[in-house]
Amino acid sequence: MREGPDIARIAALVADPVRSSMLLALMDGRALTATELASLSGVTKQTASGHLAKLVDGEVLAVEAQGRHRYFRLAGAHVAALIEALMVFSSDAASPVRTGPKEPALRKARVCYDHLAGEMGVALYDRAREAGWLTDDLGVTEVGWSRFSAIGVTPDSLPRSNRPPCRACLDWSQRRHHLAGLIGKATLDRLFALSWARRLPASRVVAFTPEGERRFREWIG
Amino acid sequence: MREGPDIARIAALVADPVRSSMLLALMDGRALTATELASLSGVTKQTASGHLAKLVDGEVLAVEAQGRHRYFRLAGAHVAALIEALMVFSSDAASPVRTGPKEPALRKARVCYDHLAGEMGVALYDRAREAGWLTDDLGVTEVGWSRFSAIGVTPDSLPRSNRPPCRACLDWSQRRHHLAGLIGKATLDRLFALSWARRLPASRVVAFTPEGERRFREWIG
DNA sequence: ACGATGGTTCGGCTATCATCGAACCATGAG
DNA sequence: CTCATGGTTCGATGATAGCCGAACCATCGT
């Protein structure tokens, strides 16, 4: 009869036990893959795929493709707020989810295509965002160029390409963004050139030297 | 698989279009009857009854019986918070609902069993709560007794009875509580005795005299 | 006591939707 | 190129739940 905001539509998306368990698993802001969410919720991947499609369609989840993986995360803080409002009704708290790769070395630093990933990569990206090296739409600021120049990454040194100079890439182990794009590649190249780190053979592990790690952390501040 | 808080259960209660429309109608804190909610949501009373039972069972709504009526209201502020969190997803705002009796005189003041209802009754109750005449569990404070004594309602004047001295009664037109119980009755009796108001014949209307209304408002502060 | 009204219960119909098997598409590794 | 893996689409099945007609119970007013 009366028409108000269509709160039933969103509520219905949360009302399914499988979907709600997915949302709870994503409450810490990480991004998980479809199969992870499937096994986590105890359904087959087809079923999970259907649920995830609904959630993305309803703009409750955001999705980011990464090679043959698709990482799903909450669409925003308002989604988390909604889940919290629902959790008020049941007093017991949620239990966290274990995740991530096994090898600590991979967790710490590795190559993602051609740029730095893992804890170190995420630290770089976080720092760059928070210290104003980058704008919200991932442009490089004055401050940013001066910082990147400090390790030899200058505008002139970047190859001419239609590839975006700076891109955020979703991190596999940290489930957060790290720095990708031309600058991401150039930065990783410089880490090798400066001998702050080297790539272990037959592996994606990026091994920092003690001195290299100290310098790196010093550089990002 | 994993067990967290059962947010799906509450979400499912909101997920139905009929139930969500009921909840939206109750967002202003008023209490509505089952039939009102039924016609408001465009379903028959049987259907509405089923929905309301579910909502009450899930502790999303609270119900208060009043003769042959049952007044439903949100179970608490946390329910309103939940609805708000859901409304964030759709930008357009809710539209209010019209309600209430037709006769303005009845709206203003009338007898509810043996005590005062309507705008004047609600005003008394609100004022008594906010000025500390009553405790949270509806006991009468020192201040309260001194105020009630001012119009001749004293502890000694109340009849010995197992009926609670002070009770909150849900108001029909205002959809808020007014003052009931022994004190409610005694107060109304004094209004008539003091000639601040009189009861219209063959009606529930309580007609205040201009002087009486002035004195009444002065009394409650 | 009786009718009118508010509200609930019951039973059957129907529609929606979650689920999974199977087949299919896309990407990455060797 | 070929295989393995992540993910989606399709179709059939089964369960859930909303809906209303009809009957029933309770309360109010006269």
CA–CA gap between residue A183 and residue A167 (Å, rounded) = 8
Q: Report long-range pairs for B116-120 (Cβ below 8 Å, ≥24 apart).
A: B116/B178, B116/B179, B116/B184, B116/B187, B116/B188, B116/B191, B116/B206, B117/B169, B117/B171, B117/B172, B117/B173, B117/B178, B118/B171, B118/B173, B118/B174, B118/B178, B118/B206, B119/B173, B119/B174, B120/B206, B120/B208, B120/B213, B120/B216
Residues 153-172 of B with CB under 8 A from A: none
- pLDDT at residue B170, rounded to an integer: 66
Residue numbers in A near B25 (CB within 8 A): 2
Q: How far apart are the first and last CA of chain B?
A: 59
Domain map (residue ranges) of chain B: 7-87, 104-220
Residues in contact with strand C, defined as Cβ under 7 Å from any of its atoms? A 12, 16-18, 43-44, 46-47, 50-51, 54, 67-68; B 33-36, 45-46, 48-50, 52-53, 68-70
Q: The tokens of A196 are what? A: 């702050």
Can you tell me the mean pLDDT for B6-20? Answer: 94
pLDDT in tens, A149-182: 999 998 888 877 656 677 777 666 666 778 877 8
Quote the minimal CA–CA distance from B174 to chain A in Å: 21
Mean pLDDT of A195-200: 88
The contacts of residue B113 (CB under 8 Å, 6+ apart) are: B169, B180
Give me the CATH code for the A7-87 domain, please: 1.10.10.10
| B119 touches B105 (CB < 8 A) | no
Hey, are the CB atoms on A86 and B81 less than 8 Å from each other? no
Tens digits of residue pLDDT in A122-132? 899 989 988 99
Q: Is any atom of nucleic acid chain D found less than 7 Å from the CB of residue B17?
A: yes
Confidence of residue A203 (pLDDT cuts 50, 70, 90): low
Dihedral of CA atoms B18, B23, B27, B31 in degrees, nearest 10, equals 100
